[in-house]
Amino acid sequence: MNELVTRDAVELAALIRSREISASELLEAHLDQIAELNPRTNAVVTLDEEGARRSAAEADRTLASGDAVGPLHGLPIAFKDTARTKGLRTTFGHPRFADHVPGGDDPHVRSILAAGAIRLGKTNVPEHAAGSHTVNRVFGATRNPYDPTRSAGGSSGGAAASLASGFQPIADGSDMGGSLRNPASFCNVVGLRPTPGLVPDNAPNGLCPLGVVGPMGRTARDTALLLAVMSANEAHDADALTARAEAIVAEVESAAHDGGDFRGLRVAFAPTLGGRVPVEREVLDVVERQARRLEELGASVELDCPDLDGSDEAFRTLRAAAFDSLWGDELRADPHAFNYYLAGNIRDGGELSGRDVVRAQESLTRLVRRAEEFFGRYDLVIAPAAQVAPFPVELDFPTAVDGQQLENYLDWMRAAYLFTPLGVPALSVPAGFTPSGLPVGLQMLTRRGADVRLLRLAAAIENVNPALRRRPEGAAVL
Residue-wise pLDDT for 360-409, tens only, equals 999 999 999 999 999 999 999 999 999 999 999 999 999 999 999 999 88
Percent of the chain at pLDDT above 70? 96
List, by residue number, the catalytic residues: 80, 155, 179
Residues 146, 279: one domain?
Answer: no
- Whether residue 22 is contained in a domain is answered as yes
Task: Tell whether 277 and 200 lie within a shared domain.
Answer: no
DSSP string covering 215-234, please?
A: EEESSHHHHHHHHHHHTS-T
User: ∠ CA 97-100-106 to the nearest 5 degrees?
Assistant: 105
Per-residue pLDDT band for 237 (boundaries 50, 70, 90) equals confident
Provide the pLDDT for residue 203.
66
Compute the Cα dihedral for 148, 151, 152, 158 and give only its sign.
positive
Q: Which domain holds residue 121?
A: 3-255
- CA separation for the pair 176, 318 (Å, rounded): 11
Secondary structure letter of residue 470 according to DSSP: P
Residue 88 sits in the same domain as residue 189: yes
Residue 136 lies in a domain: yes
CB 231 within 8 A of CB 199: yes
Determine the average pLDDT of the residues in 48-76. Answer: 98
CATH number of residue 447's parent domain = 3.90.1300.10
pLDDT of residue 472: 38
Residues 112 and 234 in one domain: yes
The model's pTM is 0.96
**Number of domains composing the chain:** 2
Cβ partners under 8 Å of residue 105, min gap 6? 84, 85, 86, 113
> Within this chain, do residues 208 and 298 fall inside the same structural domain, yes or no?
no
If one counts every other C-beta atom within 10 angstroms of the C-beta of residue 467, the result is 8
Same domain? For 18 and 60 the reply is yes
Q: Can you give the pLDDT at residue 207?
A: 46
Together in a domain, 266 and 404:
yes
pLDDT of residue 205: 53
- Same-domain check for residues 152 and 279: no
Tell me the C-alpha to C-alpha distance, in Å, between residue 260 and each of 62, 293, 461, 462.
Answer: 41, 10, 8, 10
Residue 67, classified by CB atoms within 10 Å of its CB into exposed (0-12), middle (13-18) or buried (19+), is exposed
Instruction: Write out pLDDT tens, residues 288-319.
Output: 999 999 999 999 999 999 999 999 999 999 99
pLDDT tens-digit map of 171-204: 999 999 999 999 999 999 999 999 999 999 876 5
Would you say residue 43 lies in a domain?
A: yes
The secondary element (H helix, E strand) that includes residue 438 is none
Both 227 and 375 in one domain: the answer is no
What confidence tier does 467 reach under pLDDT thresholds 50, 70, 90? Answer: low
User: Do residues 178 and 265 share a domain?
Assistant: no
Residues 264 and 251 in one domain: no
pLDDT over threshold 60, residue 206: no
Does residue 220 sit within a domain? Answer: yes
**How many Å apart are CA 326 and CA 323, to the nearest integer?**
5
Which one of 236, 255, 274 terminates a domain? 255
Residue 121 lies in a domain: yes
Give yes or no for residue 267 having a pLDDT over 50: yes
Is 74 inside a domain boundary? yes
**362 and 416 part of one domain:** yes
Rounded to 10 degrees, what is the CA torsion of 240, 244, 245, 248? 170
Task: Return the number of other C-beta atoms located less than 10 Å from residue 53's C-beta.
Answer: 16
Answer with the one of 227, 255, 283 that is the final residue of a domain: 255
Calculate the average pLDDT of the chain.
95
Query: Averaged over 139-162, what is the pLDDT?
Result: 98
* Residue 163, domain member (yes or no): yes
Domain boundary among 235, 255, 275: 255
What lies within 8 Å, CB to CB, of 458 at 6+ separation is 190, 220, 223, 427, 429, 444
**Has residue 140 been placed in a domain?**
yes
Say how many residues make up the chain.
Answer: 478
